[in-house]
Amino acid sequence: MRAKTVDRIATAVIVCVAGFIILLLAALLGYLLVRGLGHISFDFLTSAPQALKAGGGIGPQLFNSVFLLVLTMIITVPLGIGAGIYMSEYAKDNKLTAFIRLIVEVLSSFPSIVIGLFGLLVIVNTFGFGYSLLSGALALTIFNLPMMVRLTEQSLRSVPKEQKEAGLALGLSRWKTITSVMIPVALPSIVTGSILAAGRVFGEAAALLFTAGMSSPRLDFSNWNPLSPTSPLNPMRPAETLAVHIWKINSEGLAPDAPEIAAGASAVLVIMVLLFNLGARWLGRVVYRKLTASK
Amino acid sequence: MIIEIDKLQLYYTDFHALKNVNLSIPERSVTAFIGPSGCGKSTLLRTLNRMNDTIPGVRIEGKVDIQGRDIYSSDMEVEFLRKKVGMVFQQPNPFPKSIYDNVAYGPRLHGISKKSELDAIVEKSLRSASLWNEVKDVLKKSAWSLSGGQQQRLCIARALAVEPEILLMDESTSALDPISTTKIEELTRELCQNYTIVMVTHNMHQAARISDRTVFFLNGEVVEASDTQSLFSNPVDQRTEDYISGRFG
């Protein structure tokens, strides 16, 4: 009887905790959406912001966020997967690898504002990349790489030994076994890791203040030459992202409708993260099915 | 003799796992390794396709010749060796792909890309593994939808598809039900007309049923190696007799 009572109490406590977390999340999401959704319109999503007048949009910021995400992932994913493969399959178990692993751990818990300052000193000033999308992408790479490496390493390690041996026993080289047997099996976890990394790119503001900058030049969306300074595709131009924009409007916005813009932009940001998550999961499933089950 | 093992010593860091093994294995026959757990029979099997290379701390002395070539010499390509010496594992381990792709996997990665050629290899390998009639209409289905016994025969087909000369079977029936086990045993007898089969088994009766030669291991040493019938009816060594009469192990 006593064990049963304890079990009941424990279950009740756990259910309460879980319920509390869900409630908190729902409240937060509901608050953001209720306040912001009313402000979202096609015009809001596409027009440029206004400094002093009401009615400004978030078009360039939205584009910047997506573009910065793409740039960052182009740099982070290959580096992260490569390093993860090395750590799980090639690195010998010695003091050096243990040290590298420690560094990766430390790096993954670095405060993002410190990475922002590092980016300002090294990437923006010393390398001379200036306030630019590329600087921002590099800073976010530093921010995200440790997680990418660790997740890839863990997902490769969790591939059953039997699968790896099956590949090796067929006379495949180690590299071919990794790329054609192990990576497909590990893919779902690698995709999940990339989604987590991408979510952090969308939401990050501190690391970008000093690297991608807080302004966006006038963009000409009909100019797709990546070398032109007014082209949205130019990676060397400063670019204020949505998260940075929200921070700026809230702290120093002069437009009379600044609170509404901030609310609308926050809702857009949350929806973007959600859409991206769902999209990436769907893509991961499709790719996994292509690589594994029948065509 | 297709395999000649000469004064082989194997160490896992400090542990002396194989002690001075001398053994010859004849072509196109079934050789069974028997012995209690930890006696080194699986370790020896895995030296024959150098799967022990993947374990850190393994040190090998002595010589293993396969078809007259020293497989541990520096000019031996391990990928080439493993093409010639296929392996079937204890747990069926098909890739999470279609039945067809599992069998076509090795040939594809070794450079065959013509559809007609692959089709022919897949059919031939599945027929040799006596699985063709059961799966010929569902080749596009996932290999993981098959039963355990079918999966194991699929793994045999996958190994045969890269045209090995020798097939190593590491307790390949121990995870299967009795009916599937019988099928694999019958298959083993058929395959030994074209391939040299070396198998590790926990099951003495299985060794007695299907092998031509039996090797008894104890504590990393070969105690006795002879043709199966005389080993089981007339063991020379007292330890062999104790083991096969069930006094230990």
pLDDT tens per residue, range B123-171: 999 999 889 999 999 999 989 899 999 999 999 999 999 999 999 999 9
pLDDT of the residue at B207: 92
Name the residue among B51, B56, B140 with its Cβ closest to that of A165.
Answer: B51
Q: What share of chain A is helix, strand, coil (3-state, %, to 5)?
A: 75, 0, 25
Q: Mention the CATH class of domain B3-245.
A: alpha beta
Task: Output A52 or B217, whichever has higher pLDDT.
Answer: B217
Paired residues of B168 in beta bridges: B87, B198
Contact B109 A172 (CB under 8 A): yes
Q: Which pLDDT tens digit goes with each residue over B63-111? A: 999 998 999 988 889 999 999 999 999 999 999 889 999 999 999 988 8
Average pLDDT over residues B207-236: 92
Q: What angle do CA A229, A233, A239 make, to 5 degrees?
A: 70
Nearest Cα neighbor of A198 from A251, A135, A264, A272 is A272
Q: Considering chain B, what is the average pLDDT of its residues?
A: 91
Name the residue among B54, B83, B89 with its Cβ closest to that of A171.
Answer: B83
**Structural domain boundaries in chain B:** 3-245
pLDDT of the residue at A295: 42
CATH of the domain at A243: 1.10.3720.10
Task: State how far the Cα of A99 lies from the Cα of A122, in Å rounded to an integer.
Answer: 24
Q: Between the CA of residue B248 and those of B35, B36, B41, what are the distances in Å?
A: 10, 8, 17
Residue A4 domain-assigned (yes or no):
no
pLDDT of the residue at A293: 60
**Sequential DSSP letters for A29-91:** HHHHHHHHHTT--HHHHHSPP-SSSS----HHHHHHHHHHHHHHHHHHHHHHHHHHHIIIIIS
Tell me which chain A residue has its CA closest to the CA of residue B100: A294
pLDDT of the residue at A294: 42
H helices, E strands: number in chain B: 10, 10
Residues spanned by the domain of A211: 38-292
Q: What share of chain B is helix, strand, coil (3-state, %, to 5)?
A: 40, 25, 35
High-pLDDT (> 70) share of chain B, %: 100
pLDDT of the residue at B166: 94
pLDDT of the residue at B154: 94
pLDDT of the residue at B189: 92
Contact A170 B159 (CB under 8 A): yes
Residue A230 domain-assigned (yes or no):
yes
The residues near A97 (Cβ < 8 Å, ≥ 6 apart) are: A87, A91
Tell me which chain A residue has its CA closest to the CA of residue B101: A294
Task: State how far the Cα of A31 lies from the Cα of A263, in Å rounded to an integer.
Answer: 10
Name the residue among A162, A173, A294 with its Cβ closest to that of B89.
Answer: A162
Task: State how far the Cα of A164 lies from the Cα of B89, in Å rounded to an integer.
Answer: 12
Paired residues of B248 in beta bridges: none
Nearest Cα neighbor of B43 from B171, B196, B155, B188 is B171
Residue B60's CB: how many other CB atoms inside 10 A? 16
Tell me which chain B residue has its CA closest to the CA of residue A176: B109
Average pLDDT over residues B200-225: 92
Nearest Cα neighbor of A133 from A78, A66, A220, A81 is A66
Please check whether residue A144 is in contact with residue A69, taking contact to mean a CB–CB distance below 8 angstroms. Answer: no
Contact B95 A160 (CB under 8 A): no
Residues of chain A with pLDDT under 70: 1, 292-295
Task: State how far the Cα of B202 lies from the Cα of B225, in Å rounded to an integer.
Answer: 16
Contact B86 A181 (CB under 8 A): no
* Domains contained in chain A, number: 1
pLDDT of the residue at B53: 85
| DSSP summary character for residue B91 | S
Nearest Cα neighbor of B37 from B203, B198, B176 is B203
Residue A29 domain-assigned (yes or no):
no
